[in-house]
Every structure is written in C-alpha cells, then in structure tokens.
Amino acid sequence: MGCSIPKKARIRATATASIENQRISDAGSVIVNAGTFVLENRLDFLDVYRMGNYIGHGAYGEVRICFHRETSAKRAVKIFRKDIIRNELSRSRIEQEINILKSLDHPNIVKVHEYFIDTKKIYIVMEYCSGGELFSELIKRNFFSEAKAAQIMYQIFSAVRYLHENNIMHRDLKPENILLEDKHDIMNIKLIDFGTATAKVPLKYSRYLEGTAYYMAPEVALGGYNEKCDLWSCGVIMYILLSGSPPFDGNNDNEILLSSARGLYNITGDPWPKISQEAKDLLSKLLCSADERLSSAQALEHIWITSKTMENTPETEAVELVMTKLKQFHGESKLKDAVHTFIISQFLSFKDAKSLKQVFKKLDLNGDGRLSKEELYKEYLHSMGHTEASALAEKLMKEVDTDSNGFIDYSEFLKATLDIKKIFSAEILKAAFKMFDYDGSGKISAEELKRTLEGGKLIDDCVWDEIIKENDLNGDGEIDLEEFQQSVLAKL
C-alpha cells in the first residue's frame, strides 16, 4: 500500500511527471540489490575483523585473510597505505574499484562486502577464495587438457561479457587475477583486481596504458583501444592454459610488446599437434587485430566452447528441483527482502551456493551471467506447454527480479532458490540488524532505513514510515532486535 498523497500534491506530481528523478511513494518501488549493502563501515576495522595470515601484496599495500568477529566469516581484505597513495589519481582509482565491484553481481566475479577508511589505511573487504590463483594451479599442472581449459575459458568469457554489457573494461586479465574458489576446483573461478578497470562510461577508444605486457593487446601499447583489448588477453590466457607458455615472449616489456605487435605465435611444436583445430581457430580469432577480434558473446558461441562445456551440466533432477523452487517463490515484505538480500550477498558460503551455481550456469543459455525471461521460458518448456511456460516466466520475472532491471541477477536467483534457513544464525541476524541500526541504539528508525536503502533516489519519508509500521509490533515507532527477528523469520 502506497503513501496517502493530498489532491493538490497529486496534481503537482502529474504536472511534473516528466522530471527524470520523480519521488517514489510506494515501498514496493524501493530497489534493493547486492550492492545496496556495500557501504563504508565507520567503525575501526580491527574492532569488526580479526586479522589473519598474509596472502599477497601489490604496489599500494597487501592482501590478508581476516575474520568477521561476530560471525567468524572468513574473508580477504585488500589494504592500501595512504602514505603510498598520496596522489589524487591513485585515490580515485581505489574509489572507482569499490564502485565497480559493488555494481557487479556475477557468479565468476569476486564479491565485495564493505570498506573502511581511517587516517592511515583503506580496507576493502572481499570474499575469500581458498583455491588461490589460477596461475599457481597452472604451474602445478604445467598445462590443462582442452576440456578443462574450455571450462575455465567459458567462465572467463561469461564474466567478460557481463562486464562489457555493463560498459566496463577490466584491462588487466591474467591468470594471477583469477582465483579458484576452492582448492584445485577449476569449475568455480573468480575474476579479481579491478584497480585498472574503467567505470561505467560509453566504450569508446581509450589512450591510457594499462595492463601487463604478456597479456596486453597491441593496440593498447600503440594507444587507442576499446573493450576488445580484454578479448586479446583472453586469447593469451587460453594459449597459456593449453601449452604452459605465453604466445609472445621477450627479455623485457618492450620486447614482449614488439612480439605481440607482430602477432606471430607458434602452434607447431609440442603440444600443438595434439590440440584440436577448433581450439586453434578460436585462438586465431582472439589473437588478431581488434577489428577482426571476436566479442565475448561471439567467443561463448564458438564451437570449441560449446562442444567442450556441454558435458559438465548438473543432473536433471537438480535442475527440476530448482525450477520448482523458483515457481513457488513469492515476493516478501520490503524489510524481509532486504535482509535476505543482505545475508545472501554477505554471508553465503561457497559450499552453500555451489550446486545452485551450476544450475544457474545451465539456465544461463547465452552465458551473460543473468537470467532472462526467454531463458526461463525455454527451461519450463521441457515440462509444460507454451502458454503455461510463457505465463510462468512472466510471473517469475515480476516476483524474482526485485531490482527491476529486466533480468534475474545471480543474487536474486540464489535468494529465490536457496533454503535460507540453512544459513541463518543468531549471529548473522544480529549482523543484519546492525547494518540498519546505524547509531547503535538497539532500534531501527525510519531515518536509518532511509540511509541504508534509499540508494540516492528521491523516496518519500512515508515509505520508510510504512515499512516501520509493518514490522513495529509494540507500536513505539521503531524496530527492535526482537521485532526484527520475528519479521525476518516469519513463514520461513
């Protein structure tokens, strides 16, 4: 039920309906997604997290394991030292990395949880991937079979397609920036390190030199490039996965860049005689001029990818179970939906999501990392007629697409299909409550709801009052922890 608006106000609203940012007066129109809860935490980092072992380092600082004190959740934290990042460009890069990561919701892109800024350091807290770098796994194995390499490349192409469709170039794709979620598990990888990625701007030609020489497209070194530079990097990664060595080499960066500019790579020596023509064909369409280079969408449709990845699909029963769960999903109250989104995006473990992730990939026919109405329709056609399948797909988009972007994003899919009771705990519910209880008073006010969920939109105050009223059992105008828990756990 929306807010009650006086007649004169309604007339004024009608007269100004063409204004781009109209005020929202209905709680159902409040948009909540995984990025909603990626916020700056004003507390001291070490009061919220216990520092763990060292993982690695970069130009501006280090990466370490950390543990959420309240829930014991294991995460990774990227720590930037302010004394090293003194210039404005470096600071803006960090801010841009946070903003890009919080806007992304893809099964093969690392999740960011929150960030902290103090007088000496900036902390970006992200999900922890225990399998380490793909580069380290490659060193252990020397090279991968075509089937395994194709599985890896499918995931990379899918993530890159998602980025490009959201007007983002990664610009530093390499095995060191790809993590395995679990030890030796190449079926579940994550792209990381968006420090050189571009923000959401139209994909025109850029002139900034970014990336690592071995993986850098020739046009990047020459000046003037677009998103196709990421596909060159994909080609280099694919070559290395299949052979264990880079296609372009040299004693220094200049020699490597000259070698890549010539575009001549060896596919005659071992192991290339054993590699299929389809693999070589895909390489030739990636390691070529930008004008002739495949897009990520075209690469996903290449026969080498489609033929090598079809066999690794989940059991039919698992897919049917998930489709039934989707069919049974009904939208929740705004507070309950927000809390479920928070828990899914912040506390869902790899183990809890693993089987659902494989089903999601099976349903995602074009590999763009999100589900369309057409993809849902095609899956339901296996068990029902055209009319019923079409109506059900339409209904699901309305129910599950809670941020109304026209797709079911990965987190929305998980929220609709996961048995959320399995990951609920008293500690996680308290962490969710604290996300809203900004002043630490032990109660959530309408103003605190607004701070967390408004997301820069113009939303009438009566919307927040309405949400409070729905969940305020004792009528004191605020939501305490007990009321919060009752609302979130109701009818689970």
Spatial contact of 210 and 232, defined as CB atoms under 8 Å apart = no
- Quote the domain boundaries for residue 233: 132-309
- My answer on whether 105 and 70 are in the same domain is yes
C-alpha angle 42-73-49 in degrees, rounded to nearest 5: 35
For residue 26, count CB atoms less than 10 angstroms from its CB and return exposed for 0-12, middle for 13-18, buried for 19 or more. Answer: middle
**Gap between the Cα atoms of 190 and 168, Å rounded:** 16
Confidence band (pLDDT; 50, 70, 90) for 84? confident
Say yes or no: 288 and 164 in one domain.
Answer: yes
> Is there a single domain that holds both residue 167 and residue 18?
no
Residue 223, amino acid:
G
pLDDT > 70: percent of the chain: 90
Domain of 146, CATH number, reads 1.10.510.10
Q: Please report, for the domain that includes residue 76, its CATH number.
A: 3.30.200.20
* 146, 308 Cβ separation under 8 angstroms: yes
Structure tokens at 2: 């929306």
pLDDT above 60 for 4: no
Residue 82 located in a structural domain? yes
Is 35 domain-assigned? no
- Residues 330 and 472 reside in one and the same domain: no
Stretch 384-398: mean pLDDT, rounded?
A: 95
Positions at the binding site: 78
pLDDT band with cut points at 50, 70 and 90 for residue 434: very high
Catalytic (active site) residue 172: yes
The answer to whether residue 427 sits within a structural domain is no
Whether residues 11 and 80 fall in one domain: no
**Number of structural domains found in the chain:** 4
Q: Verify that 231 and 346 share a domain, yes or no.
A: no
Query: d(Cα 458, Cα 441) in Å, to the nearest integer?
Result: 26
DSSP letter, residue 444 = E
Alpha helices, H only, 145-227: 146-165, 218-222
Question: Which one is catalytic: 44, 105, 118, 172?
Answer: 172
Within a 10 A sphere around the Cβ of 442, how many other Cβ atoms?
11
Domain boundary (422, 445, 471) is at 422
First-to-last CA distance in the chain? Answer: 23
- Tokens linked to 5: 């608006």
> Domain for residue 178, yes or no?
yes
- 203 burial class (0-12, 13-18, 19+ CB within 10 angstroms)? middle
Based on the fold, state whether residues 170 and 285 are members of the same structural domain: yes
**Rounded Cα–Cα distance for residues 256 and 216 (Å):** 9
List, for residues 310-336, the tens digit of each pLDDT value: 766 778 888 999 999 998 888 778 888
Clarify whether residues 383 and 320 are in a common domain. yes
Are residues 210 and 179 part of one domain?
A: yes
Supply the pTM of this predicted model.
0.90
Domain boundary among 106, 127, 148: 127
> With contact defined as beta carbons under 8 Å apart, do 116 and 123 qualify?
yes
The residue assigned the tokens 């309240």 is 70
Three-state DSSP state, 76: strand
Q: Are 396 and 375 in contact (CB under 8 A)?
A: no
Q: Which two tokens stand for residue 317?
A: 């029963």
pLDDT band at 274 (very low <50, low <70, confident <90, very high): very high
Same domain as 284, residue 175: yes
Known binding positions for ATP:
78
Domain membership of residue 201 (yes or no) is yes
How much is the average pLDDT of 223-232?
92
Q: Is the same domain home to 82 and 168?
A: no
Based on the fold, state whether residues 305 and 320 are members of the same structural domain: no
**Tokens read off for 253:** 């960066």
pLDDT band at 30 (very low <50, low <70, confident <90, very high): confident
